Chain A
């Protein structure tokens, strides 16, 4: 079963090496590191990294991100080169000093919801106390400067995901529409639905939102969740009112926030 899960985004700029001399969003990296630290304590039997790929497939657990694909000038090659979300997941585990067993699971980006849920359930059954690191992004159409330009449906879509994670509402995650997600360039949809399948598509304990913002027009969500009946009760506890912090576009978002009103 899944004892604990963390959700992190997978933009290439999460790799510090890729952003040049400027750190660019150090707060996002710090949020991911914090979430992964929570994921790894207490120590799991295995960490299952889930992220979108061209097809559903298990990758080499020893694989890393091939930075040279994004920055040929750096001359750093990861072999074998994992799909971006899995490679960044491996990077986060490395940064946390995790040397235990890994499973690198790609889920096809076009995989129907039912297949994602089944994949999640089977991954959950594969180990008695697994941790799941889910690498996925919200819409890339959150602002006019976003990679996919602006779509007015993007922000409601991302907020709905954030709210579902916060409420532990895996049924809402399971119900995300793959077609809409594709239109909104929300590349995390399939991986999030694997998470829903792994935790059981009902109601899980509340998740804790560590970061939620779209500073470059792509929705980034960092969260920690625990499975029903696990020791994950710490997840989701925070001072009341913190979730009412105002949304400041482009600002560092280290506090949990929700949709106004």
Chain B
């Protein structure tokens, strides 16, 4: 899942795809690099909450329509917590609602059901959208994650979302300090064991930066390490900025796991 943000102020390389043509160029690039899913967002995660519904729609929805026209078969995800945005996005051709804020707007699942779209059920520790964690604590963070995402998945299913289109996501950094994000990474197998497909969104996030003492531009290796561990533990969708490197890391893990054949082997066999 490749990230293309329609924002001027996202945390990683802010504004790089704010210009519509640059965003479309980026789409061509990530598709060529092997992305299966495109995740389009019109609002950054950080505060303040200053983007209106109308503005979010203006940023994301026409762009989704453009991408849909260019790529009829690409899975398009919209990164939003608002059902109004989700509905407009689905009308423009979006297939998946990436609700990073943990089901803040309960109508989102209804929109997914109406549109036949998929939905990502994530854990944000009950945080209001576009807020940062403040002294968050959990008796057992993975238990909290599991309890919440399974509740959301059940709610989505009851709302009529196709069971095969429901994904769960621990949402690293959302409502979590770095210890919590490391813990949910370590215990990701508990999420994959539920049978729901698991999305892992770790690309360049603060828990990688804090763990490594690495600035925003120096977090690729850490991101790939999280990706590899997540893949080993059975995660299925990886939301990333770097498609080529992620593909390689995933292909490597798939070969180690025995899920995929290596490309071309001669060493020691000639």
Q: Are B263 and A21 in contact (CB under 8 A)?
A: yes
Contact status A216-B258, CB under 8 Å:
no
Contacts A12-B268, A13-B265, A147-B270 aside, 20 further interface pairs with beta carbons under 8 A come to A11-B269, A12-B269, A13-B269, A13-B270, A18-B265, A19-B265, A19-B266, A19-B269, A20-B264, A21-B261, A22-B263, A22-B264, A22-B265, A24-B265, A70-B269, A75-B258, A147-B268, A215-B270, A217-B270, A218-B270
Count A/B pairs, Cβ under 8 Å.
Answer: 41
5 A-B pairs with C-beta separation under 8 A: A11-B270, A18-B269, A22-B264, A24-B264, A218-B270
Interface size on A, residues (CB 8 A): 19
The CB with the most chain B CB atoms within 10 A, among A22, A70, A140, is that of A22
In the complex, how many residues of chain B place their beta carbon closer than 8 angstroms to a beta carbon of chain A? 10
CA distance A146 to B268 in the complex (A): 10
A239 at interface (Cβ–Cβ under 8 A)? Answer: no
Q: Which residue of B lies closest to A11 (CB)?
A: B270
Closest 7 CB pairs of A and B: A216-B270, A22-B264, A20-B262, A13-B269, A12-B269, A20-B265, A73-B258
Chain A interfacial positions (CB closer than 8 Å to B): 11-13, 18-22, 24, 70, 73, 75, 140, 146-147, 215-218
A21 to B269, CA, bound (A): 15
Instruction: Return B251 CB to nearest CB of chain A, in Å.
Output: 10
Chain A residues whose C-beta falls within 8 Å of the C-beta of B262 in the assembled complex: 20-21
Contacts of B268 in A (CB 8 A): 12, 147
* A90–B262 CA distance with the chains assembled, in angstroms: 25
Q: Is the interface of A mostly helix, strand, loop or mixed?
A: loop
Nearest B residue to A75 by beta-carbon distance? B258
State A22–B266 Cα separation when bound (angstroms).
10
Residues of A within 8 A of B258 (CB): 73, 75
In the complex, what's the smallest C-beta–C-beta distance from A249 to chain B, in angstroms?
Answer: 14
CA distance A20 to B270 in the complex (A): 14
A11 to B267, CA, bound (A): 11
- Look across to chain B and name the residue whose beta carbon is closest to the beta carbon of A21: B261
For B261, list chain A residues within 8 Å (CB).
20-21
A13 and B266 contact, CB distance less than 8 A: yes
| Chain B residue contacts of A11, Cβ below 8 A | 269-270
Whether the Cβ atoms of A216 and B266 lie closer than 8 Å is yes
A147–B265 alpha-carbon span in the complex (Å): 14
In whole angstroms, how far apart are the Cα atoms of A233 and B38 in the complex? 65
A-facing residues in B68-122 (Cβ within 8 Å): none
